[in-house]
């Protein structure tokens, strides 16, 4: 029997049971049933009615990319074939009956190939595929919901976003993971509030997928991510700071600079690493944080790290920033950092050094 737990798209989200592989390959007749003269169209009709032998033959033909098999699937006006295919992908059964699955149909590639039949123009009527998948989202079996959520993301119909948003509340983590993955793939800006809400209680795997989804959504997610940087949850702040850096939107620079003084050391260092990529846009916000904040030990660490990286990149900034970095590395950093940062900012503004181009700032002479 095929087990859905071997699916590569869920391999990190729950315990995996591996199907034992036979020590030697069975005879060819055990792998592929005799094709005979049965036309693919007849096989498709019989498979829709629940005949496993016909389904076996039809899917082997599909894996061999025989166009007659794909045409047979696409031309069949019967929802049952689509339902049975989804059931096989998710559960390894056919029409609710056990299936002695041959080796070629056990592989992750086989299920990936069969999933493509649900894609627009790839195998079956788009509306039929969508209705079967939406029904799968209501299935009591979480493997059906998981696979339906995944394939809906491949189809990318924006009308399905509300269903996937609702799946973020599913009781089973792997369903939530696939819903988040699909929302990210679809760049569903409408899902940003619910993705952030789901992040609060997410485990490591689901949280990572939500982070990736927010990055894929990009610019439309930035305002909500900025707001969540004040969350009471360090886990949420860490993911939001990281996502803002990955999106690389200049609107995030002030909040990333402020996060250099986050009460959680991990969040503060993530902000420091993400700030550097914004280049000279980082200078003034970082100096303002150093001026207006009490200098905690890790603000001295993160602030000096950011400024040091900036003057390594922009040599013309070194005479301005180096004295401040040295001040923050002294034991008296709590006393002198704010004053030195204020003086540094004043000199930079007086000399209008940040008005120079990136090339001019980077020049060694």
pLDDT tens by residue, 141-185: 999 999 999 999 998 889 999 999 999 999 999 999 999 999 999
Task: Return the beta strands (E) in the chain as ranges.
Answer: none
pLDDT surpasses 90 at 80 = yes
Rg (CA), the chain: 28
| Highest mean pLDDT (candidates 5-14, 121-130, 171-180, 348-357) | 171-180
pLDDT surpasses 70 at 325 = yes
Mean pLDDT of 255-282: 95
| DSSP bridge pairs for 94 | 97
User: pLDDT per residue over 138-150, tens digit each?
Assistant: 999 999 999 999 9
Spell out a b/e string for 159-188, using b for 16 or more CB atoms within 10 Å of the CB, else e. Answer: ebbebbbebbebebbbbbbbbbbbbbbbbb
Cα of 245 vs its chain's centroid, Å: 15
pLDDT surpasses 70 at 35 = no
Between CA 122 and CA 118 the distance in angstroms is 7
Count Cα atoms within 13 angstroms, Cβ side, for 18: 3
- Whole-number percent of the chain with pLDDT over 70: 89
Mean pLDDT value across the chain: 87
The pLDDT score that the predictor gives to residue 365 is 56
The pLDDT score that the predictor gives to residue 350 is 94
Does this model's pTM top 0.85? My answer is no
The pLDDT score that the predictor gives to residue 83 is 94
Mean pLDDT of 243-266: 96
User: pLDDT per residue over 6-27, tens digit each?
Assistant: 443 344 443 333 333 333 433 4
The pLDDT score that the predictor gives to residue 33 is 47
The answer to whether 177 and 205 are in contact (CB under 8 A) is yes
| DSSP bridge pairs for 97 | 94
> Would you place residue 219 in the very low, low, confident or very high pLDDT band (cuts 50, 70, 90)?
very high
Listed in sequence order, the residues at least 6 apart from 241 whose beta carbon sits closer than 8 Å to its beta carbon are 229, 256, 259, 262, 267, 270, 271, 274
The pLDDT score that the predictor gives to residue 236 is 92
Cα of 100 vs its chain's centroid, Å: 34
- Whole-number percent of the chain with pLDDT over 90: 65
Domains and CATH numbers, the chain: 34-114 (no CATH), 125-217 (1.25.10.10)
């Amino acid at each position: 029997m095929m087990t859905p737990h071997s699916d590569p798209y869920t391999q990190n989200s729950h315990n995996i049971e591996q199907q034992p592989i036979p020590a030697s390959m069975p005879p060819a007749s055990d792998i592929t049933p005799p094709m005979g003269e049965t036309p693919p169209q007849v096989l498709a009709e019989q498979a829709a009615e629940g005949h496993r032998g016909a389904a076996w033959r039809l899917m082997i033909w599909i894996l061999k990319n025989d166009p007659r098999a794909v045409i047979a699937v696409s031309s069949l006006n019967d929802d049952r074939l689509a339902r049975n295919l989804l059931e096989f992908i998710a559960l390894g059964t056919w029409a609710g009956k056990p299936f002695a699955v041959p080796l070629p149909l056990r592989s992750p590639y086989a299920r990936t190939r069969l999933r493509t039949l649900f894609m627009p123009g790839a195998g079956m009527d788009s509306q039929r595929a969508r209705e079967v998948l939406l029904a799968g989202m209501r299935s009591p079996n979480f493997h059906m919901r998981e696979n339906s959520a995944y394939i809906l993301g491949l189809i990318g119909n924006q009308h399905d976003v509300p269903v996937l948003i609702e799946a973020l509340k599913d009781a089973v983590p792997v369903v939530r993971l696939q819903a988040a993955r699909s929302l990210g793939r679809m760049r569903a800006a409408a899902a940003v509030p619910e993705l952030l809400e789901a992040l609060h209680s997410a485990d490591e795997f689901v949280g990572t997928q939500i982070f990736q989804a927010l990055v894929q959504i990009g610019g439309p997610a930035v305002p909500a991510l900025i707001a969540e940087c004040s969350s009471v949850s360090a886990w949420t702040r860490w993911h939001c700071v990281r996502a803002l850096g990955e999106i690389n939107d200049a609107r995030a620079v002030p909040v990333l600079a402020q996060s250099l003084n986050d009460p959680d050391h991990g969040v503060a260092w993530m902000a420091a690493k993400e700030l550097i990529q914004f280049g000279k846009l980082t200078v003034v916000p970082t100096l303002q944080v150093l001026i207006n904040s009490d200098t905690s030990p890790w603000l001295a660490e993160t602030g000096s790290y950011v400024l040091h990286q900036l003057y390594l990149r922009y040599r013309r900034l070194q005479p301005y920033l180096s004295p401040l970095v040295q001040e923050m590395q002294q034991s008296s950093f709590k006393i002198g950092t704010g004053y030195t940062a204020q003086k540094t900012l004043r000199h930079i503004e007086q000399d209008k050094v940040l008005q120079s181009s990136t090339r001019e700032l980077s020049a060694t002479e």
